[in-house]
Amino acid sequence: MKNNYKIVLLLLLIITAKFSKAQEPKISDKIANTAVIGFPNVTISQLNTIGVTFASYEQIQSAKFIKGNHNCMLIDFDLSKKNFTVYAELLKVISTIYDVNKCYIKTNSAYNEINSNIGTDTVIVIK
């Protein structure tokens, strides 16, 4: 009986891990209309530099950093503009400012969930 419990628990963990990764695009995937980029331990100076950098790209329509429970940036893209076609191109720009190995990227469903549950987190408008 204990072995069955362990097997069920292991399967549950595997399924949970697969679903949690399901909304993470590959860096070679095409840019979606919205994205969440996690920036653990980003500094205000780095955020300011990212803001100045993002200002020069028409494709980035808006960006706001959610500080607190999320520590991530919600970004809206205009897909008719072609600054970035895949996430790797966006990360290349960010990599000059922040260690992108610490970043995570999620798309629409995570964006909507975080945007609707900001609560008391601090919102810093980047663009």
What are the pLDDT digits (tens) for 63-83? 999 998 888 999 999 999 989
- pLDDT at 18 (0 to 100): 39
Question: Domain for residue 13, yes or no?
Answer: no
Average pLDDT value over all residues in the chain: 82
Question: Domain for residue 15, yes or no?
Answer: no
- pLDDT at 1 (0 to 100): 52
pTM summary value:
0.78
Domain of residue 28 covers 24-125
Return all residues near 103 (Cβ < 8 A) that are at least 6 apart. 37, 38, 39, 91, 94
Question: Domain for residue 88, yes or no?
Answer: yes
CATH code of the domain in which 28 resides: 3.30.70
Task: Give the chain's domain count.
Answer: 1
User: In sequence order, what E strands does the chain have?
Assistant: 34-38, 60-67, 72-77, 104-106, 122-125
Contact 25, 32 (CB under 8 A): yes
Question: Domain for residue 86, yes or no?
Answer: yes
- Rounded CA separation 85/29 (Å): 8
Question: Domain for residue 108, yes or no?
Answer: yes
Q: Which residue has the higher pLDDT, 3 or 85?
A: 85
Question: Domain for residue 3, yes or no?
Answer: no
Question: Domain for residue 67, yes or no?
Answer: yes
The mean-pLDDT minimum among 15-24, 38-47, 93-102 falls in: 15-24
- Rounded CA separation 66/118 (Å): 7
Question: Domain for residue 2, yes or no?
Answer: no
With a cut of 70, say whether residue 111 has pLDDT above it.
yes
